[in-house]
Structure 1
Amino acid sequence: MRLWVIAALFFLTWCTCASLWASDTKQILVINSYHKGFQWSDDMLSGIEEVLYEHPDITTNILYMDSKRISSEEYFATLRELYKLQLKNQRYDLIVAIDTFAYNFLLKYYHEIFTDEPLLFTGPEQFSLEAVQKVGLEDRVVGLLEKRAIEESIPLISKMMPSLKKLTIINDGSTNGDDSDLFIRQAILDNQDTFEVEYIRHSSLEALEARFSTPRPNEAIFFIRFYNAHDGTFYKNNQIAAMIDKSALPVFVTDTLFMGKGALGGKVVPIRALGENTGKLILQTLKGEITPLHVSTDETYEYQFDVQKLAHFGLSPHPHVGSYTRLNAPLGFFDKHRVFVDTIFVASPLLVLLILGLGHNIYMRARNEAKQRAIELQQNKHQQFIVQQAKLAEIGEVFSSIAHQWKSPLIEIAAIAQEHVYTCKDQPQEENNQYVNDIMVQVRYMTDTINDFQKFIMPSVDKSVFDVAETIEEMLKIINHTIKYSYIDITVRKQGTQRLLVNGYKNEFMQTLLNIVNNAKDQITLARERGAIKRGEISITLSCDADKIILAICDNGGGIPEGKLPQVFDAYFTTKEEGHGIGLYMTRLIIEEKMGGKIWASNTPVGACFTILLGSAA
């Protein structure tokens, strides 16, 4: 009898304790805007669960909506009836809404489904106090806003791509897209004077993939999101990742969804960290540490970049970003051979392992240096090829000049020879010698001309010190007749009497001057044909300022269109119908890369002006 009594008392005690334990358990209902398998919300939930894992007294139930694929009012009304039936007689300590769709849904139908449970939202980018007050929930709403680094990312892109001409921003037409739209438009206003910005909200993944399949220098994509096409098609993450990976333009992003899957990188929101911060806010809310209408903005960011994409597009975050996470970096020796290294470490002395590692590092360094030397050699060959190509393109101009210069001497030679044949019998020896001397003067002139031409087309091998003024005179001597018969007056003005010496490649420098003067001649010819001018003028001004030599070549050919001024030195850019587009590119290459100077183009009231700045060797 006493055993039964003891057993009964033990049972009653256990029931009482279990009841007490049950009363301490917190029940959370999470309503996720998206279906299971949607990576953004899955990463969010992983971060939340990681925080709540340390609290076994908290039980979490999750309901999944499907708002990415279905977002009609009919769908939400049906979902309301389902939740009313499913959650009938249920009591929760906290309702958590993941992202905008779930939050808006709960604001609208809260009083039909729940009683007085507090409501915590996470993920939206904007918060409206008026919307909360309208439904009378200001005494139970708290939240955590997501903030994408849109305003900071666009200046970062322009710093990493200093020659950026166009940025395309992609953001779909969904409710989430509307949240980001305000920040995007403000960023566009802040940067519209710096480069061209195109904003795409309504398109299709197929159209975007086709559009960005062709490389275009100095263009980039800033990808916010694109789940929904203009016709309602829903795209999965793997489809979006494939489009980003195939893009021939660098793709910058705002979160970690597509990092390592084709995106180049940027200042991103680590979504899992956003979930962890949401988990911490849940704990504070359950403990009563957060008061209603406490809405904060999560500003947890990381700089992440895909190493392979950086190399592919020739970009680098340095020096604009201090430290960043490197994705898709090539595996080192120890990563590739981890099992082998572990075995060696266990089986052999530490010294053997260090020797192996040192030997491998030496080998890799030597191989990388050899590759770098090969790349530099190839680049030098390419540059020399471009120089020679430009010279060949100008040979036609030079031959034309030579033909003009030879025509008159040849006629003179023929006339003198004929006269000598008919008169030599009756003329004294002294007069015969004069005829011979006249012939030799003309022949010597022809020889000097061809010698000048041969020197001009022969590439310089080593640097030498030469006089800039004398080089200009030599260049003008070569093209004298071409300029003369184009009805152009050339004036050369030199300030001061000292010699203007530079250390560089004389023939290549002469080629740069010829490129500029020939371009001026062509523009003057066109202007005269249009009747804009009667006679062409080219002025060449030389001056010296401290240790710098300044050379300005200006014309009256009407100038360069303002929109094309920044492009005149780009490779293969030309305004001529049959131009090759490498003359001025080669000019900049010689002046800036080979001679360490500077060159820029500008417009005067009557034409174009090219200014060259060189270091003096005097």
Structure 2
Amino acid sequence: MKKVFLFLIFINLEVFAYSVLIINSYHKGYQWSDQVIKGLEDVLIKKDNVDFNILYMDSKRVSSKEYFDSLKKLYKIQLKNRKYDLIIPIDRFAYDFVINNYSELFTKKRVLAVGIEKFSHEKLKKLSLENRVSAILEKRDLKGNVEIIEKNFYKIKKLYIINDKSLNGLHTEPLIFNLIHNYKSRLELIYLKEDDLSSLQVYPFEDHSAALFIRFYKNKNGDLNKNSEISHFVKNAKIPIFVTDSLFMDKGATGGKIVNLYKLGENAGEMALDILNQEKAKIILYKEFEYFFDYQKLNEFLLTIVNLDEPYKMIHKKKTFFDNYRNFIDFVFIISPFFIFLILGLIHNIYKRKILEKDLRKRIEFDATMLNAIDSPIFWQDANGKIVDSNNRFCNLLKLPFDSLYGQKLSDLNKNNNAKQIIEIMNNYNLDKDNNEFTFITSNSIERTYLIKQAKFKEEKIKYEGYVTIFTDITKEREIILEKQKNRQFVIQQSKLAEIGEIFSSIAHQWKTPLIEITAIAQELFYTRRSKNVNEDSSFVKDIMQQVTYMTDTINEFQKFIMPSNAKVDFNIQDAIKSMLEIVNHNLKYNNINIHLNIEEQTNLTVNGYKNEVMQSILNIINNARDALLNNHYKNRNIEISIFNENSDLIIKIKDNAQGIKNIDKIFEPYYTTKKKGHGIGLYMTKVIIEDKMKGKILVENVEGGAMFTIRLVQNR
């Protein structure tokens, strides 16, 4: 039972996420507020997660302080166990009641005031409610109504502005006084504030006058005028009555620029949803006015709209003969010319068909010409694999006329050697593969490279489908790519040869010492030959061979280095770096440069790629570091090489202490060099080798005391 109860609570919370309390200043049936609330309700009802309740204050009938105090006590009891997310007071009485009793009845609740005319920011600040209260203000466009009457109805000379002595009437009075004070035109404006409706009904309105009715809800004794009584006055007035809201539209008013109360309510509903969704408090002025006129009233007072550019609604317009008998007239017009239209339609259809046939022939000829002008062989197959069309290039490829191809499957042409190649290619074609290249041997033994692309077509109307196959000749493009690869290999080798001069110098220094040793041994052997001691001779020979072996190893390593790598192989990066260092070891020692090779334990050192090119890349970095280190004191020249694994990659870091690199962003650019005799392609080719040939990544950065190159090579583990 407890689980069921919790489930029902959950369902209730899910259905009604928000709760809204609407407080109506007036009673139910009071049309002004009813229209506003109807628009508000229609918006909130559409939201399944919003629950709302309505309280009626009946302030038109009773508005004493004692009454409002009693309401306060009643609401305090009613609202004690109810939690609301938003309070919506409708019109002035409800708004003042909510604000004045906020701390006792509505603490921390958000408020949306609807339909009030006078709004005080200062009062909210005093009550610290400026962030809690929003409002949509109703401002009657008195000036707009006066301008409509002035510009359209020239026979009207005098305009009475009718208002009552209610609290709302007092709030509207400043607008009336301001309008009369600033108005300077042909109309005479008179503010009329009678004590009761009966006096107004017998008021001696002059000819050529009209009234702008704002409100007249209470008599001087406080009795509330019924809407039916006000409507009777408006409808039976001897002068045109213009209104400022939709309350008396369709109830005898001649027209006006009005506030549509229902739409005001709709706007308030949308604003309420925004507030529930945590939008900040805001005050907006409702300005969505509408224009309406009563056709019967305009005729009654001989008025005509002559100067209104805005769209307007006309009610009670008398239907014309055409309006009353529209269906009959439409039927006559449809039936009488039916056969004429049918004949004309048939003639037009035949004419259009001839034009379409002519256009279709032109299109077919154009498509055939265009397709035959394309260098790529193209052919069409239906869903069964039969050839339905092709261009001349495809026929030339197979060395067969189109008549021999039409209606045939490729498998039917297997006696043709060229067709056999196409059949084998199509059997291996993969529709989902991006790059489908194949080699085609022509009848004169010329090798061509084609790129194949196949697309499915489908015609829904006639249920026809098939495939279009295009062979694009990319022989020239492949030749250009191969030529670029050869040129790049040449540049790499050229870069390598640029280092040979320095390497030769290093080898020459390396060979000086063993040559001197051999010379000394040979002289000693010559001068001591008389001893004829066999053991001594063997020792001399052993020493000489040791020096010769060292020289041979040196030149062999050099030969291996200068040979270009033609294919990818698996090689040990440690062995490659050590072999490279053996070549330049003497040069580094001669310049008093200390080099340290650090390899992290259990590092996978195997790399698949071009060994000599990788050696050249690292050599370029070492040589650049060597040249930079010559600016350091001879006791402070260090190069550190670190090797380790990171994820599935092999990382090589080469760091020096040569104080860093100026213009570091340009060092990989071709022909950029800071050396007087530099060629500027060493580091450029290093980047090409690592990133293009080895599919790795090389970066350089200035670190504390020098520069560091980081090489990342992908390993297949």
TM-score, length-normalised on structure 1? 0.51
CA drift at 1:96: 0.5
Q: 2:310 aligns with which of 322, 327, 346?
A: 322
Q: Does 1:196 align with 2:179?
A: no
Q: Are 2:281 and 1:288 aligned?
A: no
2:625 corresponding residue in structure 1: none
Residue 114 of structure 1, CA deviation = 2.0
Alignment of 1:18 onto 2:11: yes
Corresponding residue number in structure 2 for 1:504: none
Per the alignment, residue 79 of structure 2 pairs with 87
Distance, in Å, in 1 between the alignment partners of 2:228 and 2:335 is 45
**Counterpart code for 1:351:** I
Post-superposition shift, 1:17? Answer: 4.4
1:92-111 maps to which residues of 2 (within 5 A)? 92-111=84-103
| Residues 431-470 of structure 1 deviation map (CA, whole Å, 9 limit, x = unaligned) | xxxxxxxxxxxxxxxxxxxxxxxxxxxxxxxxxxxxxxxx
Distance in 2 of aligned mates of 1:85 and 1:272: 32
The count of aligned residue pairs is: 338
Q: Which residue is equivalent to 2:266?
A: 276
**Which residue of 1 is the match for residue 256 of structure 2?**
266
Shift of 1:13: 8.2
1:228 partner amino acid: K
Post-superposition offset of 1:116: 1.1
Counterpart residue type for residue 322 of structure 1: E
Give the match's secondary structure for 2:97: helix
Structure 1 residues 15-54: aligned runs within 5 Å: 15=8, 17-18=10-11, 21=14, 25-54=17-46
Once residues 242 and 266 of structure 2 are traced to their aligned partners in structure 1, the CA distance between those partners, rounded to angstroms, is 25
- 2:424 maps to which residue? none
Cα distance, 1:321 vs. partner?
Answer: 4.0
Q: Distance in 2 between matches of 1:131 and 1:120?
A: 16
Residue 268 of structure 1 aligns to a residue whose secondary structure is strand
Q: Does 1:227 align with 2:220?
A: no
**C-alpha displacement of 1:150:** 0.7
**Aligned-partner Cα distance in 2 for 1:19–1:258:** 41
Structure 1 residues 40, 19: CA separation in 2 closer, same or farther (over 3 Å shift)? Answer: closer
SS of the residue 1:225 aligns to = coil
Write out per-residue CA displacement over residues 470-505 of structure 1, whole angstroms, 9 at most, x where no aligned residue.
xxxxxxxxxxxxxxxxxxxxxxxxxxxxxxxxxxxx
Is the partner of 2:202 in helix, strand or coil? helix
CA contact (8 A) 2:153 2:305 kept: no
Query: Alpha-carbon deviation of 1:127?
Result: 0.9
Q: 1:50 to 1:337 in 2, by over 3 A?
A: farther
Counterpart AA for 2:40: I
- 2:127 pairs, out of 128, 135, 141, with 135
Structure 1 SS opposite 2:160:
strand
Instruction: After TM superposition, give the deviation of residue 322 of structure 1 in Å.
Output: 3.4
- Which of residues 287, 293, 307 is equivalent to 1:299? 287
Output aligned runs, 1:79-478, within 5 Å: 79-191=71-183, 194-212=186-204, 216-289=206-279, 291-292=280-281, 294-332=282-320, 351-352=334-335
Q: CA deviation at 1:138?
A: 1.9
Deviation by residue 1:517-555 (Cα, 9 ceiling, x = unmatched) = xxxxxxxxxxxxxxxxxxxxxxxxxxxxxxxxxxxxxxx
User: Could you list the per-position Cα deviations for residues 49-83 of structure 1 after superposition, in whole angstroms to 9, with x for gaps in the alignment?
Assistant: 11112101101100001111211111111111111
Q: Is the 8 A contact 1:151 1:183 kept in 2?
A: no
**Partner-residue secondary structure (3-state), 2:214:** strand
Cα distance in 2, alignment partners of residues 107 and 313 from structure 1 = 46
Q: How big is the alpha-carbon RMSD for the aligned residues of Structure 1 and Structure 2?
A: 2.7
Between the aligned partners of 1:65 and 1:10, the Cα distance in structure 2 is 41
Query: What secondary structure, in the 3-state scheme, does the structure 1 residue paired with 2:269 have?
Result: helix
Aligned CA distance change for structure 1 residues 81 and 314 (closer, same or farther; 3 Å)? same
Please show how residues 488-503 of structure 1 align to structure 2 within 5 Å.
Answer: none
Tell me what 2:68 maps to. 76
**Matched AA of 2:199:** A
Query: Any idea what SS the aligned residue of 2:251 has?
Result: coil
Structure 1 residue 193: Cα displacement: 6.1
Residues 87/354 of structure 1: CA separation in 2 closer, same or farther (3 Å cut):
farther
Q: Aligned partners of 2:97 and 2:13: how far apart in 1?
A: 35
Deviation of 1:115 (Å): 2.0
In 2, are the aligned partners of 1:154 and 1:187 still within 8 Å (CA)? no
Checking the alignment, whether the CA contact within 8 Å between 2:98 and 2:106 is kept in structure 1 is: no
Q: Please list the CA deviations of residues 355-390 of structure 1 after superposition, one character each: whole Å capped at 9, or x if unmatched.
A: 9xxxxxxxxxxxxxxxxxxxxxxxxxxxxxxxxxxx
Point out the structure with max Rg over C-alpha: 2
Deviation at 1:183, TM superposition (A): 1.1
Higher relative contact order (CA 8 A, sep 6+): 1
Asked if 1 retains the 8 angstrom alpha-carbon contact of 2:160 and 2:210, the reply is yes
* 1:168–1:197 Cα contact (<8 Å) kept: yes
Letter in 1 for 2:310: G
Is contact 1:108-1:135 (8 Å) kept? no
Q: Which digits, 9 at most, give the CA deviation of each residue in 1:229-276, with x for residues without a partner? A: 222121111110100111111111101111111110111111101000
> 3-state DSSP class of the match of 1:180?
helix
Aligned AA (1:110): Y
* Deviations 1:251-308 (CA, angstroms, capped at 9, x unpaired): 111011111111101111111010000000000000012x12x100010111100001
User: Which consecutive aligned stretches of 4+ in structure 1 deviate over 3 angstroms post-superposition?
Assistant: 8-17, 192-195, 331-338, 352-355
3-state secondary structure, aligned to 1:211: coil
Flag structure 2 segments of 5+ consecutive residues without an equivalent: 339-717
Contact conserved, 1:25 with 1:58, CA < 8 A, in 2? yes
Q: Contact between 1:305 and 1:327, CA under 8 Å: does it hold in 2?
A: yes
Structure 2 vs 1, CA of residues 218 and 59 (structure 1 numbering), >3 Å: closer, same or farther? same
Structure 1 unaligned blocks of 5 or more: 1-7, 356-618
Deviates more, 1:307-316 or 1:323-332: 323-332
